[in-house]
Each structure stands twice: as structure tokens, then as C-alpha cells.
Structure 1
Amino acid sequence: MPVYQAPLRDYQFILDELLHIYQQNELQGFDEIDPDLVDAILQGMADFTTEVMLPLNSVGDVQGCKLVDGKVVTPEGFADAYQQFVENGWPTLTCDPAFGGQGLPEVVGIFATEMQTATNMAFAMYPGLTHGAYSAIHTHGSDALKNKYLSKLVSGEWTGTMNLTESHAGTDLALLRTKAVPAAEGYFAISGEKIFISAGDHELAENIVHLVLARLPDAPEGVKGISLFAVPKYRVNADGSLGEANSLYASGLEHKMGIHGNSTCVMVFDGALGELVGEPHQGLRAMFTMMNQARLGVGVQGLGVSEIAYQNALAYAKDRLQSRALSGAKAPEKAADPILVHGDVRRMLLSQKAFNEGARALVGQQALWLDEAERHSSPEKAKVASQLAALFTPVVKGFITGRGFNACVDAQQVFGGHGYIHEWGMEQFVRDCRISLIYEGTNGVQALDLVGRKLLSDRGAAMQHWSELVTAFIKAQSSNPKMQPYVGALMECAADLQKASTYIATNAGSNPDIIGAASMAYLELFGVTALAWMWARMAAVALDAIEQGTSDNAFYQSKLKTADFYMAYWAVQSRSLRKQLELSSEMLTSVDESIF
């Protein structure tokens, strides 16, 4: 069975020294947290995930979910593990105290999520989707709807889902056909079929609250005619108790490449009674609250699975004996050297390490922006944080999952033939992680969102805010000679990103197809630059700690060496990505279809 060691020291570094969360006095509720509390919470999650969730990861993969007599049965051990999850209070971490939550910042909760996805991605999706449903109702629901559902969703006694996709529509929600017809007492009868519904049915919780996109009879065409409805598996009585079963069911389970332990269902709604979430015809706005939460979570899936894959590949590389180092034997007392001595194995492992630690810092920054948007005492600063979080959402989802999957493949490669065999766990990591590039909006959609909506909207306000942060950091560090390798590499990345942005803005007006043709290279370039920013910041913190004198010198030296590698191996890709974008985008838009 694969092993896992939660990166608790890295969490401490990011939260305390990089993001300074214990000095965020302008953020409501941050004065209630301290290092001891946060460390205890993350340690508790580390214990739970390694002792309870990790042993079930392979079980879930082998057994999968089953549809028996119209009901979904999850793999052996999942139900007991979920009850422990609820009894320990883990679903409540970042939820509103008014509904039984602990009110912790998102920047703390996001690392608890990473540990869950690293140890058992399929299991982690059940509470993850519930949190998304909670967020949508909490933000857009009426007081009556909140009082009806939120306390049970917060506690985990009930779970939640999101029902968007229909077989003929996919990403194009304007084509959805599910109908909502007014019924008695403010309810609506929902009828239609949804596919790819993660956690659509199961026996883990006593009720499931489905959030369903549907059209009212008077709905205008397109996305402006979509409404959102809360449709429970079992209807809820006035006193909060469960009533009769609603008119909905799972008609089938998808046979998937990975995440077998999560029940991906075809859901049929046959006049099921539900209630409106938010205003009529404003369902997409409400659903995007859930989707943006989910997109951050999916980005964390790419990171989490990449991290556990890396840890196991590293352990294998230290143990596996194969050939001798080209420069001579490094372990002459053994029959061969550990494969860690070989240059290409080191390249793969160090590339994974540099990605994981950089992505973890970026995820933490994104979560802190979300906290600032919700909790900052200054409305102006809260707005800026909201704009930055919106800008980086497609980057966190698209870039981190894409590179995280590549890291899993590299980790599998380190194992050689054993990486292709189930018992080592690596091929499951590859299969599980692969979906993260597809669902919650494919990475191609994320790239389009980044370029078409985020880069070119609001006259580039969000991009300008980030540019100011990068420029301020470079200015502050420019006089430090030890920081020059990091500052110089960051400046080159930033310059390439600026040139690419200018190219798109200049050419998109006359040829809008440029946006689609350039978007994926732009997403990659943006992600490479964003991680260069994080690594330069981490290098500055590490240098300062070493100069001040630290008892953990090895940790900070490791940070500097990994930063060196990132700048040498990853950051230099910015120029090739920019040239790729500039030289191929117009060609892609003009090539005749006959050549395909």
C-alpha cells in the first residue's frame, strides 16, 4: 500500500512565514486563530487521513460503487469512515458558526482538503461537494432555505451535489432542457435527466440535497433563462424531520477510468419537488458560487494526488537498486546504486517537488484572497482580493491539475514496470488524477475563461492588481544580491507574460479566434509565472531565516535549492510558451479544415 506523510512543516511555513495569517488583523475572525490551534487541527486531519482514509483508497478503487435494487452502495468501509469523519467534526471547519460551523479561514481549510484528496480522492469528493452546496445556499438562498438545509449540510449529516450536465449539452449550459414547473406552496416540480453527477446517490448520509439547474416555463432562451433549485432526496418536514422520498433516482452508474470509490450517477428527476435558490433565471450566478468553490477544490486534487505520488516515487528511488552512477559507484557495498543517483530520475523527482511546493503556496495565496474578499474590514481591499481570486481561479484549476497530472505520470515512470502494476498504487494515482483536467470545466474551458473573461474584462483591472504586487516584490528585493537569481527569473517570466497579453489584446479585436487558439499556451505561461512569483517569495523568506539563524537550517536550504531548480527548469519555459503563442495562434485560426 502507498505511504503518505502529511506536509505539515510546509503548511506551517506557508501559513506563518509566507502568508503571515496570524498578523491579518483586518480580517474578521483571524484574531481567533493562533499557531497552536491551527497546528492541532492540521495534525488531527493528518492522523485521520493517514489512518482512516488512506487504507480505503485501494479498496474503493478495486470494489467501486454498485447500483443494487435501485440504490447505490459505496465500497466496504466508506460508510464507517464517513461517520467517523462527521463525528470528528471535519465537515464544519470553515462553515458559518451560525449554522454549526467552526468559522475557520479558508486558508486553513484548504490544506485540510489537500490531505483528504491526497489520501483518498474519491472519498474526499463526498464532503467536498457538500461544501459546495453549502456555499451556494449560504450565499444565495433565502433565510427559510438556509434554516432548512444548512445546519445538516454543515454537520455532514446530509450531503450535497451539483447537477449541471446533460448528455446533449455538456459545457454549453444554454442547451439544458430540465424543466421546473410551479407546484403548490412555493415548490417546483423538476423533471429531466442529468449525467456525470458525482456523489449522486449513496448510503453515507440520511439525505442528499441536489442543487439542480432547470428552466421555468417563462424562461428566456440561453443561459439567462436558467434557475437553480434545491431538490432533496427525501423531502423535509416543517419540523426538520425527513418525510417521503422525492421523485428522483439514480438510473445508472458511470463506468470510469478512476475515482471508482465515488458514485458518479445518471440522475433522473421525475416531477421531484424542489425550492428556488436565489432569484428566478439567476441560477447560473448562484451555481458559479458552487462551481468556483469546486474549481479550487479540483485544483487541490491535482496537487494532493501529485504529492502522494511524489512521496512514493521518492521512497522507491531511494530503495530500488539499478545500475551504477555514470561517475562511479555511490553505494559500492551494494550490488547496484539506488536509482536516485541517475540524472533523469532526479529530474523527474525534483520537478515534482518544485511543482508541489510551488502549487501549494499558490493554493494558499488563492485561499487567503478568498478570505480577504469575505472578511476584510476595507470594502476596497475586499474588492481587490475578490478580483484577484477570480483571475486566479482558472489558473488554480487548469494549470495545477494539468501539471499535477504530468507529475503523477513522472512519479509512475520512476517506478518503471512496477508503476504499471496495481499493487504499487501509482497507476491508480494516474487514473484518479486524470479526471481533474476534465470536470468542473475542462482545462480548455479554464484557459478560455482566463483569456476571454479575466484578461480582457474590467479593462484588465485584476491583471493590473497582480502586476503591481509582482512589481512591488521585485522592487523590494532588487537591492539584495542573494535574491538576484530569483528576481531575475521572475522578471523574465513577467516580461514574457506581458508580451503575450499584449499580443492577444492587439490581435483579438480583428480576429476573435485568436483568443481560443492562444488560450492554452497563455494559461501555461500564466501558471509558470505565478509559481515563479511564489518561489521567489519563498526564497526571500528562506534566505531571511538562514541569515537570522534558524534551528531548521536543512528545511530552508531545501527551499532554496528547490527554488534554484524551479527557476532553472520551469521558469525558463516562459519564453518558449510565449513564442509558441505568438507563432502558432494565427496559424491555428487560418488553417483549412481539409488538412485534418
Structure 2
Amino acid sequence: MPIYQAPVRDTLFVLNEVLGYERYTNLPGFSDASGDVLEAILAEGARLAENVILPTNRVGDMEGCVRHDDGSVTTPKGFKEAYRQYCEGGWMGLAAPVEHGGQGLPYAVHTAVAEYMVSANLALLMYPGLTQGAIAAILTHGTDEQKTAFVPKMVEGVWTGTMNLTEPHCGTDLGLLRTKAVPNGDGTYKISGQKIFISAGEHDMADNIVHLVLARIEGAPEGVKGISLFIVPKLKLDAAGNPGERNTLSCGSIEEKMGIHGNSTCVMNYDEAEGALLGEPNGGLRAMFTMMNEARLGVGLQGLSQSEVAYQNAVAYAKDRLQGRSLTGVKAPEKKADPIIVHPDIRRSLMTMRAFNEAGRAFTLWTALKSDVAHRSGDDSDRQAADDHMSLMTPIVKGVLTDKGFEHAVMAQQVFGGHGYIEEHGMSQFVRDARIAMIYEGANGIQALDLVGRKLGANGGRAVQAFFKEVGEFCEENRADEKMAPYTKALKKGLNDLQAATMWLMQNGMKNPDNAGAASTDFLHLFGLVALGYMWAQMAKTAQGKLADGANGSTSFYDNKLVTGRYFMERVMPETAAHLARLSSGAETMMALPAEAF
């Protein structure tokens, strides 16, 4: 049975000591979750994740969801009960507005707790995750009547939500979608078409499911300019706002998937189902991106979460498994062999995962705090800067954390050797579950193209220049500090590589767009390394300050931070040079072979 312990101490270190959470108490919601209250929220979230949600993970993988002849779907054993406790605890609406039944707490607190829940059971947490994205879209683009009708029930968790974007013939290229919307003449529309890969499309855990469906109104322009978004509930609402008559939509089948078996990934059929326009006609793309951006940050967190739980299980196994003797002499003379954690190559795997997880946690919480500033600050310039940061970092959070999350799930599986390949230890589930995060909500190649093609040059490069300035100033401010040299020198080298890569793209991407496309994935990961390195440099600076002040009984915690940070700078950060070398080679050889030569 896989284990998991929520990293509460590390979360508090990042929020309170590194990111200065208390500095944000002027923003709405922060004063309601500060100090002891924040710690209590994280501790309670950890308890739910470890004791209630984690036991459902293996069951969900083995049982999967079952579709019945009438189109209904049954979720795995224990899912309904765990979901009910999640909702009753108020976790669905942790960061939702108070006026709609939420608690109004910071998105950063929601993000911290979400890591624990998703580590415990990714498939189960997709149900509330999709709902929270749908809530955000309705709050941003809905009418007052729509907000009143749908959001409180969704925040309560008695209704859930979905995103219906993909069709059999179109995924990323939404301009090709065929689902149509015909006006009924009373403000509603008949929605007809088929959607695939719809996570949480049908299940037995809620009284109603609120589908947000992209469709094209009759006569709308071709391409993405003619797309609209509609609210299409599974059960229509009666005059009192309660679920009533069944809408003409159904789950045609459940996809047979590599992983996330506990989530009902459905083919959804709409046969003149009644829907209401969300937002403006032909404005569906804008409304969709409200959901997508929220979802992409959540999916990045899934990558981190799977890396963390896989790492914890690999560590436990490495401490217990006896094989061979240490290269530098026997470490466990009372045993027939040493535990494999003494071997350098096992340490390479464990340290690589650990260094990524701790920096990735800081990166996601930093980005979540920027979201809070963007949505809650009363200062226009602060909001703009935070929004710039979010826009720039969203593809990096999604792409880098999910690529590495899968890579580290495989790395953790390798620590187990043959025992990682059989189902007894549960490591294959982490690998299989982590794989989808690289694909959905925009495959990672699309994230890289988005970064290079749209985000880098947005507003004259304002966001990327602000990032360069912030990291450069940190390195300069700490240049004379010898204790910080192992961190700042490596970070400055990585920043130089990133700036050189950016300049190369500016000079060569416009000249030949294939150069930008060929460079995009390496650029994404180069940028991610510098962002993670910046997190490590800040954590190291904090740890050194705490040690200088006596560490308050936590000397080993801060010492371990410094060692792990040095490992990242010595063993991981140098990869920026390889990414720069690859991307600056251009697209010529990549595109040289004719298609028929493959």
C-alpha cells in the first residue's frame, strides 16, 4: 500500500519564511488565514488527504468507473464518501467568494492544500478541480442570474462542473469544432454534437452536473472567432432553481485509459440539449481561457503532486531494501547487506526528485500568490504586474512541472527495480496517472509554442523583462555574500543562458517561424530551470538567515535546505547550457527530411 505524508512544514516554510505571506494581509481574505489559522488549515487538509482520500487511490485504479446501460456511471468504492467529506469540510469553496457560499481565502492557501489532496488521489480530485474551473468561468463571464443559479450549489459541491471542448476531429485547433447551437427564441439554445475526453462527464457523486460546452451558433463566423460557450446542465432547473427534467445529453461511453481510472472520462453526446449562453455570442474563446488558465495551473500542480508522492514511496523503499554493500565500506554490519539508499545512483534519483519537488512547491505557491494580487489588489500597477507574471508563467508551470512529474514518477519506479514494475507497491499507478498531465489542458508542445509565440512578446516583452530584472537584481544584491555564491553564480549563469536564448529567438524566430517552433520545448525547460533555480536561491538565502539567528531548534531542516539547493545548482542547473545549445542550432536539420522519408 503506497504511503503519503503531506509536507506541511515545507509549505509553511515557503509561504511564511520565503514568500512573506504576512506581507499580503492588506489583501482581502489573507487576514482570515494568517498565523495559527493558516497552520490549522494546512494540518486539517493534510489529515483529510492522508486518512480519507489516500485509501481510495489504489481502489480507484483497480476498480475504475462503470457505465451502465442507461448511461449512468458509478464511481469506485469509497469515492462518494471521500468526496462528501471533502465538500462538507468546505474545501471546494476555500477560495471562492463569500457572497456565493465560499470562504474567500487566498488562492495560495487553496493551492497549498490542493497539492496534498492531489498527491493522495489525482483521479478523485479531478472532480472538484473541474468544478472549480467551471465556477471561475461563470463568476467571470456569467450574468447575475447565472451566478445565483449555479455557483452556490457548485461551491457546496452538491453540483459539479465540466469543460466540454474537445471533439473527435479537433483538439487544440478549436476552430474546427462542429457542435452547433440553434436559438430557441426564448434566450436558450439547442446544443447538438459530440465531445470526447470529458473528465467527470458523468458520475454518481453529485445531484447535478453543469457542463460548459463550446459550440458554434448558426450563422457564426468560421474558425475560433465564431465559437461561443454555453451552460448545459445535466438536469434542467425548474422555476425554483432545483434540478428537474433530464436534459437531452448522455454519456455514450467511458474512455479506456492508461491511468486516472477513478475519473470518468466520457464521450458526451448532446442531442438538442437546452443550454444558456455564457458570456457574449462568439466570445467563447475568451471565456474558455478563464477555465483553461485555471486548469493549466491545476494540472501543473498535478505534476508536482505525483512527483512528491512517488518520491516519498521511493525514499521509504530505499531505506528498507537491502542490496549490496556501500562502495565506501559497510554501513549496516549487523545486516547481510546495506539498504540501497547508501548507493550514489539511488541518491542521484532521490536528490533529483527532492530538489525538484521543493523548488516546484515554491514556484507554484509564488505563482498562486501572484494570482491573489492580480484578483484582489486595489493597486492597478500591482495587479498588472501580477497578471503579467501569471500569463508568462502559466505555460511554464503546466509544461515543466508535468514533464518533470512524469519523469520523476518513472525515476521513483526505477528505485524499486522489478518491484516497481509489478502492481503490489503501486508505483506503476503514479507513472500511469502522471502521464496524462503532460497531455490534457493543452499538450506540453502547445504550452511551449504558447510561451514562445504569444507570451514572450506580449506587451513588448514587459513580463519577461520584469522577470529578468528581478532575478538579475537578486544575484547582484547577493554577489558579495560568499555563502550565497554556490547559488547565485549558478543562477546567474542560467539567467545568462535564458537571456541569450531569448535574444536568439528574437533574431531568428521571425526570420523563420520553424526556428521558433524547433526551439520552443528547449526554451520552455530552460525558462523553467531558471525559475526553479530562483526559488532555490531565495530558499537558500532564507535558510542561511535562519541559521544565523539560531534556527529555533530547526537546524537540520535549514541545513538540509542548503544541501538540497546546492545539489540543484550543481547537478540540475547546468542543463540550461544544453538547452541553449540545442535551441540555437535552429530548425534546418529538424525539418530537412521530406515527410515520406519517415
Q: TM-score range by the shorter chain?
A: over 0.9
CA distance in 2, matches of 1:242, 1:593: 53
**SS of residue in 2 equivalent to 1:527:** helix
Asked whether the equivalents of residues 515 and 586 of structure 2 are also in contact (C-alpha less than 8 Å), the reply is: no
- Structure 2 equivalent of residue 3 of structure 1: 3
Q: 1:278: how far off?
A: 0.6
Amino acid at match of 1:570: V
Amino acid at match of 1:562: T
CA distance in 2, matches of 1:151, 1:184: 28
- Structure 2 equivalent of residue 60 of structure 1: 60
Q: How does 1:293-308 map to 2 (within 5 A)?
A: 293-308=294-309
Deviation per residue, 1:380-401 (Å, 9 max, x gap): 1101100111100000000000
Q: 1:591: how far off?
A: 4.0
CA distance in 2, matches of 1:586, 1:524: 21
**SS of residue in 2 equivalent to 1:251:** strand
Amino acid at match of 2:12: Q
**SS of residue in 2 equivalent to 1:189:** strand
Q: 1:456: how far off?
A: 2.3
- Structure 2 equivalent of residue 18 of structure 1: 18
Structure 1: unaligned runs, 5 residues or longer: none
Q: 1:585: how far off?
A: 3.1
Asked whether the equivalents of residues 299 and 397 of structure 1 are also in contact (C-alpha less than 8 Å), the reply is: yes
- Structure 1 equivalent of residue 526 of structure 2: 525
Q: 1:260: how far off?
A: 0.1
- Structure 1 equivalent of residue 272 of structure 2: 271
Q: 1:241: how far off?
A: 1.3
Is it true that 1:434 corresponds to 2:426 in the alignment? no
Asked whether the equivalents of residues 22 and 33 of structure 1 are also in contact (C-alpha less than 8 Å), the reply is: no
- Structure 2 equivalent of residue 586 of structure 1: 588
Asked whether the equivalents of residues 85 and 91 of structure 1 are also in contact (C-alpha less than 8 Å), the reply is: yes
Asked whether the equivalents of residues 399 and 444 of structure 2 are also in contact (C-alpha less than 8 Å), the reply is: yes
- How many corresponding residue pairs? 596
Deviation per residue, 1:78-124 (Å, 9 max, x gap): 11221122122111101010101000111111011111110100000
- Structure 2 equivalent of residue 30 of structure 1: 30
Amino acid at match of 1:60: G
Is it true that 1:315 corresponds to 2:316 in the alignment? yes
Asked whether the equivalents of residues 372 and 382 of structure 1 are also in contact (C-alpha less than 8 Å), the reply is: yes
Alpha carbon RMSD of aligned pairs, Å?
1.0
Asked whether the equivalents of residues 107 and 368 of structure 1 are also in contact (C-alpha less than 8 Å), the reply is: yes
- Structure 1 equivalent of residue 98 of structure 2: 97
- Structure 2 equivalent of residue 515 of structure 1: 516
TM-score, with structure 2 as normaliser: 0.98
- Structure 2 equivalent of residue 565 of structure 1: 567
Asked whether the equivalents of residues 471 and 534 of structure 2 are also in contact (C-alpha less than 8 Å), the reply is: yes
Is it true that 1:577 corresponds to 2:579 in the alignment? yes
Amino acid at match of 2:209: I
- Structure 2 equivalent of residue 335 of structure 1: 336
Amino acid at match of 2:497: D
Deviation per residue, 1:151-179 (Å, 9 max, x gap): 00111110000000001011110000000
CA distance in 2, matches of 1:575, 1:449: 22
Q: 1:594: how far off?
A: 4.4
Q: 1:218: how far off?
A: 2.2
Asked whether the equivalents of residues 472 and 495 of structure 2 are also in contact (C-alpha less than 8 Å), the reply is: no
Is it true that 1:371 corresponds to 2:372 in the alignment? yes
Amino acid at match of 1:563: G
Is it true that 1:194 corresponds to 2:198 in the alignment? no
- Structure 1 equivalent of residue 397 of structure 2: 396
Asked whether the equivalents of residues 199 and 262 of structure 1 are also in contact (C-alpha less than 8 Å), the reply is: yes
**SS of residue in 2 equivalent to 1:90:** coil
- Structure 1 equivalent of residue 143 of structure 2: 142
Asked whether the equivalents of residues 26 and 377 of structure 1 are also in contact (C-alpha less than 8 Å), the reply is: no
- The equivalent position to 2:556 in structure 1, one of 551, 554, 557, is 554
Amino acid at match of 1:83: R
Amino acid at match of 2:202: D
Q: 1:29: how far off?
A: 2.7
Structure 2: unaligned runs, 5 residues or longer: none
- Structure 2 equivalent of residue 46 of structure 1: 46
Give the % identical residues: 52
CA distance in 2, matches of 1:584, 1:416: 39
Q: 1:37: how far off?
A: 0.9
Asked whether the equivalents of residues 456 and 505 of structure 1 are also in contact (C-alpha less than 8 Å), the reply is: no
**SS of residue in 1 equivalent to 2:332:** coil
Q: 1:489: how far off?
A: 0.5
CA distance in 2, matches of 1:249, 1:150: 23
Q: 1:592: how far off?
A: 3.5
Amino acid at match of 1:423: E
Q: 1:27: how far off?
A: 2.2
Q: 1:150: how far off?
A: 0.5
- Structure 1 equivalent of residue 466 of structure 2: 465
**SS of residue in 1 equivalent to 2:230:** strand
**SS of residue in 2 equivalent to 1:167:** coil
Q: How does 1:161-310 map to 2 (within 5 A)?
A: 161-310=162-311
Asked whether the equivalents of residues 28 and 377 of structure 1 are also in contact (C-alpha less than 8 Å), the reply is: no
- Structure 2 equivalent of residue 487 of structure 1: 488
- Structure 1 equivalent of residue 119 of structure 2: 118
**SS of residue in 1 equivalent to 2:325:** coil
Asked whether the equivalents of residues 259 and 432 of structure 1 are also in contact (C-alpha less than 8 Å), the reply is: yes
- Structure 2 equivalent of residue 88 of structure 1: 89
CA distance in 1, matches of 2:476, 2:31: 31
Asked whether the equivalents of residues 133 and 160 of structure 1 are also in contact (C-alpha less than 8 Å), the reply is: yes
- Structure 2 equivalent of residue 347 of structure 1: 348
- Structure 1 equivalent of residue 325 of structure 2: 324
Amino acid at match of 2:558: Y
CA distance in 2, matches of 1:381, 1:588: 42
CA distance in 1, matches of 2:209, 2:19: 37
CA distance in 2, matches of 1:593, 1:228: 37
Deviates more, 1:81-90 or 1:219-228: 81-90
Asked whether the equivalents of residues 94 and 102 of structure 2 are also in contact (C-alpha less than 8 Å), the reply is: yes
TM-score, with structure 1 as normaliser: 0.99
Q: 1:511: how far off?
A: 0.4
- Structure 2 equivalent of residue 408 of structure 1: 409
Is it true that 1:496 corresponds to 2:497 in the alignment? yes
Q: 1:584: how far off?
A: 4.6
- Structure 1 equivalent of residue 540 of structure 2: 539
CA distance in 2, matches of 1:31, 1:86: 23
Deviation per residue, 1:310-344 (Å, 9 max, x gap): 00100100000000011111111110000001110
Amino acid at match of 1:58: R
Amino acid at match of 1:467: F
Q: How does 1:442-453 map to 2 (within 5 A)?
A: 442-453=443-454
Q: 1:184: how far off?
A: 4.0
CA distance in 2, matches of 1:515, 1:183: 46
Deviation per residue, 1:179-214 (Å, 9 max, x gap): 011114211110000000000000100000000000
